[in-house]
Chain A
Amino acid sequence: MIAPGERFPDLDLPDHTGRARRLSELAGGDPVALLFSRGWWCPKEQRHLREVTALQEELEVAYARIVVVSVDAPEVQSAFRAGLGARFTFLSDAERKWLARLDLLEESDTTHEPYRPTAFTLFPDLTIHRRYDGFWYLGRPTNEDLRQDLRAISAGLREDFER
């Protein structure tokens, strides 16, 4: 199991426009909230990503990133992202390239073969700060959880965070 303190793999996947991206490039030197999501069809994902999208108002001025990974195709992600009003990046693993390697298969859904909802907060170098297992909805991070994690990571990164 991928655990805090380990370096998260530098995912190489197409984004919601189909453009090849790397997770390290998306981090761009900032803390990251990395969310693995089942897909657009799941009511729990719709609910949770609506909440996370509300956090972008804060992160757009806080030098922190949000990245969502799902097995939806890029064009589906693009439509879902637009419906959410999201301004962050979705990565598409429609080919299930990383699913087994990350050991994040949602075994109970044999129809879609999606990711098991799991969230990580990461340092810019992709070191894992915290992991959330979200098979049960309440296991997922709230926006306050994410805010506290990103604050803790930022405090460790920015020498002038506390004067």
Chain B
Amino acid sequence: MVDPRCLDGEPVAGAYAHVCALADDEAALPYDQPEVQQVRRDALAWWIPLLGDALVCLTTFALDESRCAGAVTVLREPVRLDDDPFARLFSPTLVRTDIFCAVPPPAGPVLERYAGVAWPGGRFEPDNRS
């Protein structure tokens, strides 16, 4: 699973996907593990700001309710790839892609996931006060 917003809209042609993941179930890590939490903090604190307008979208890969299989950061230009904090946990690969859409970056500081959706996607139901 990815943040569904990344695939819902007008795709950005010729983008660069920095995929930090391993095609191996055993390589997945619990979202609650400290290093997986810290990577998300780093993404909010400096990785996303460093990317600026180059960022198209960012999503983690959720295997299920609790496990993270990596992340992809999609860019208009292949900038700052060596800084990708997700590469600390999962091996990175750069590929060209035409399938990902532009998504506003997460506002922070929320790290927790919403009902199992891949971070930073999801939200609770709209305000339903009567």
Contact = CB atoms under 8 A, between A and B. Distances in A.
Contacts of B125: 29
B104 interface: yes
Nearest to B125: A29
Interface residues of A, number: 36
B112 A63 contact: yes
A65 B45 contact: no
Main secondary structure of the interface of B (DSSP, over half): loop
A81 B50 CA distance: 13
A19 B129 contact: no
**Chain A CB within 10 A, most for which of B110, B123, B129:** B110
Chain B residues touching A, range: 20 to 34
A87 interface: yes
Tell me the dominant secondary structure on chain A's binding face. loop
Nearest to B42: A87
A28 B53 contact: no
B124 to A, nearest CB: 5
Interface string A125-161: 1010000000000000000000000000000111000
A118 interface: no
Contacts of B44: 87-88
A32 B44 CA distance: 17
A114 to B, nearest CB: 23
Interface stretch (A43-51, A53-61, A93-101, A103-111): A53-61
Contacts of B34: none
Nearest to B41: A87
Nearest to A84: B45
B111 A157 contact: no
Given A17-B48, A78-B49, A82-B45, A87 B127 contact: no
A88 B108 contact: yes
A17 B50 CA distance: 8
Contacts of B124: 29-30, 63, 157-158
Interface of B: 41, 44-46, 48-49, 52-53, 104-105, 107-112, 114, 123-129
Interface of A: 16-19, 21, 25-30, 56, 59-67, 78, 81-82, 85-89, 123-125, 127, 156-158
